[in-house]
Structure 1
Amino acid sequence: MKTTSKKQYILHTELHKPYKKPNNRITYIHRESNRPPSIIKNLPQCIEKCLTNNSSNAKIFEDAAIPYNEAVKKNGHVKALKYAGKKTNSTTENENKRKTPNKETKETKTRNRRKRRITWFNPPNSKNVSSNIGKKFFNLLNSCFPPNHKLHKINNKNTVKLSYSCTPNIKQIISSHNKQIINETSKKASTTKLCNCRDKPSCPFKENV
């Protein structure tokens, strides 16, 4: 899955547009693939945001989004890519003024803020599993570490979070296996000591020359 596109500047017009290599094939994960729902749902939005940031205006976006729209539709995604628009400088300045508090309050907040130690549980995602793994996991957490337990401060819903992970497909498994075998053979070949004699023809171990 590749959602990034580089920015190409047009010097004589002072505009920029998304750049794609001529022979580059755009591929995305299919809508029915065995991936977490959040990834599949947010994929068109990520592509849309990336193309919008790399486009100066809506016309450039529409011209550049044609192959990306085709790739998205080909993989079963219904949503078409649309130009999201960019915020003006005045709106961003006003938002920054609202968001950034005074210096004194900011320093006191950072001083008093304590970093929460979170433990993540990342089970592999699979559509073949019908059980609600997250619900069962947190029920198990509550039953094993009730409020009167001495480890409840460490193991509770606020300190333990759950996020599904993507397992590698068959192609990735085979390629990683092949790389491992190739690396092992190359290491063995590099560890064999060769002859360091000054007079090579008179070396008793001619097979190491």
Structure 2
Amino acid sequence: MPVSATETGRSDAVEQAVAALGGLAERDVAIGPMTTYRVGGTADVFVRVRSVADLHLVARARRASGMPVLVVGRGSNLLVADGGFRGIAVSLLDIATDVVIDESTSVVEAGSAVLLPVLARRLATVGLTGFEWAVGVPGSIGGAVRMNAGGHGSDMSESLLDARIVDLDDGRDTVVASADLGLRFRGSALRADQVVVSARLQLA
């Protein structure tokens, strides 16, 4: 059976992405099992990011191949089609799990892969308030910033100071103030190719 031009173009894009990513790239990885529902197909290319420098390689791969990028996160708000994802799927679980608490200022910095319930309980343990609403929300900091997650009368915008964002379109690594994120009810102005690496919260 002849190979269609679409299939050829997709294959070329995958090869370009893999070449740009080097040893970071994995092919045809099942990402459905990484979600809460544990269903769905594979990603053409999968990357386990281990440093912010790796994210810059993902940006280079995206530009070289033209493939879309999907940050898998904790998968609590993601449903993967049976046909999979025809692009580059990225996991930050190896780099974005740190939590730094400054008890003198009540400022908390958390990596994007930190689970909301885990962080809420830890903050309560050290006597910080303002994040209790998150104890029952099954998601991570990165996803919570992107969708301005909330519950019980509060949300991320109430305590978010700023977020560190890596733009996979141009490779920029910037800290963006909460007021400039376009936060709204269950949404923000962040594009799919803008990756939340960490966030700072002002608590009490």
TM-score bucket of the superposed structures, by smaller chain: under 0.3
Q: 1 or 2, which has the higher strand percentage?
A: 2
What is the TM-score normalised by the length of structure 2? 0.19
Select the structure of larger CA radius of gyration: 1
What is the TM-score normalised by the length of structure 1? 0.19
Q: 1 or 2, which has the higher helix percentage?
A: 1
